[in-house]
Amino acid sequence: MAEVSSPNDEFVAESLEAYSAASDLAEDLPADHVGKLGLALNRSVFFYEIMNDKKQAIQIANEAFAGAYAKYDEDGHTMSDESANITQLIKDNLVLWSLSFPYYRRWGRRQSRQVLQ
């Protein structure tokens, strides 16, 4: 609701509460689990667009992306197509956001070479 209606502190607070509860529930899921990745994608976009907290959005997205790729790098582990698609969306957001946020611009280029390739 917070993303489709006019700014309303009640919707934002309820959304934060729901994201927090969902994140707690997803904590024990594997880093490349489609539900955990989808939650991280949506939560990061919420922080970026609704909360206007770009640092938090980038942190959430980066943790999810790095975790998924660390899991992917394990011997013999393959990522599901759906997880790979969500991970790509997270990567796209990180690249886009790093271009518009000076502190992370350097990070985005350096990190892209290290992790994204």
pTM of the model: 0.79
Q: Which CATH architecture has domain 8-112?
A: Up-down Bundle (1.20)
- In the DSSP assignment, the letter for residue 74 is S
Q: What is the pLDDT of residues 18-68, one digit of tens each?
A: 999 999 999 999 999 999 999 999 999 999 999 999 999 999 999 999 999
Q: Any idea which residue has 């990061």 for tokens?
A: 44
- In the DSSP assignment, the letter for residue 8 is -
Could you give the CA distance from residue 35 to residue 3 in angstroms, rounded to a whole number? 20
- pLDDT above 70: residue 82: yes
Could you give the CA distance from residue 3 to residue 106 in angstroms, rounded to a whole number? 30
Tell the burial category of 89 from Cβ atoms under 10 Å away from its Cβ (0-12, 13-18, 19+): middle
